[in-house]
Amino acid sequence: MAEATRRVEDTMTVEANSRSLEKEIVTDFSSRMSYGSYLELETLLSAQNPVSRPEHHDEMLFIVQHQTTELWLKLVLHELLAARAAFDADDMSKALKCIARVKHIQKTLTEQWSVLATLTPTEYSEFRGFLGNSSGFQSHQYRAVEFVLGNKNEGMLAVFASDPDAHRLLAALLSEPSLYDAFWRCLDRRGYEVPASALERDVTKAYVSNPELIGLITSVYTDSEKNWAVYEAFEEFVDLEENFQLWRFRHMRTVLRTIGMKRGTGGSSGVGFLQRALELTFFPELLEARTEIGA
């Protein structure tokens, strides 16, 4: 009797802690598109193939970390190109909406480093040798994002000589105006006195500070109510750069934590190379103008 009572109570507990399917829920996907087929999960989830032998447990973390980063970079590039097109179409509101989305993605990308940081030096050393010369340095999407933001380097194209699609994308972005170039041209069409040096620069070169823009920037900050849309754009750009620098810093610190001062698998100096990247800037005048404001 006691055993029967216990079985009934166990059954009631299970039923209380579960929910039945509602009759409207679709269960037959023999001729319908499912969640998995829409997202092509069969392809996506079969792309994690450790190369270590015997297979090392922590290599899965390493692969997933970098694959998810590449997916986010794909969306970042998608949004930045849309923002540039919006500036070209004089739609500043749409451009800033795209940039706002990028800022949220950047926060996710930065926080992801904390997951990879759980990989200890010993654990990584046990499969690092199997990676050969593959390295995040070879991420063409990361380079594409840098190019769109103005950090252009024609020499980088040589890294992608064996990847025609990546090389083609980067070559195109090298010859096109950056997001920042498109912004200044948009302001010029809105009636702001943008100096010719900003409108006619060689867009194939890395962006460098233009002192002739400081006066325009300070005037916008001085009278923000009159220039609110442009003022907001300035601050969005500053946020974008700051987030990018935080990502670079977390990257550098994670590498330092994991491999110390060893050279990178792709041949770079590792931490030293990443430290120098912290000196690069996208929108230099927006920070330099702050020295003049209120002086």
Backbone conformation region of residue 276, classed left if phi is above 0, alpha if psi is from -120 to 50, else beta: alpha
Give backbone dihedrals phi and psi of 138, rounded to 5 degrees, phi first. Answer: -90, 10
Burial of 233 (0-12, 13-18, 19+ CB in 10 A): buried
291 known ligand binder? no
180 known ligand binder? no
14 known ligand binder? no
Q: What is the pLDDT of residues 135-149, one digit of tens each?
A: 999 999 999 999 999
Please give the mean pLDDT across all residues of the chain: 95
66 known ligand binder? yes
Cis bond upstream, residue 54 (ω within 30): yes
Closest CA to 282 of 249, 239, 251, 253: 239
Position 7 pLDDT exceeds 80: no
Structure tokens of 279?
A: 């000196």
DSSP codes, 219-275: HHHHTTTTTHHHHHHHHHHHHHHHHHHHHHHHHHHHHHHHHTTPPPTTSS-THHHHH
CA dist 81 and 181 (Å) reads 12
Position 16 pLDDT exceeds 80: no
The pTM of this model reads 0.92
124 known ligand binder? yes
DSSP codes, 199-214: HSS-TTSPP---GGGH
231: confidence class by pLDDT, cuts 50, 70, 90: very high
Residues 6+ apart with CB under 8 A from 125: none
65 known ligand binder? yes
Burial of 77 (0-12, 13-18, 19+ CB in 10 A): buried
99 known ligand binder? no
CA dist 207 and 199 (Å) reads 12
Q: What is the pLDDT of residues 235-287, one digit of tens each?
A: 999 999 999 999 999 999 999 999 999 999 999 999 999 999 999 999 999 99
Q: What percent of the chain has pLDDT over 70?
A: 95
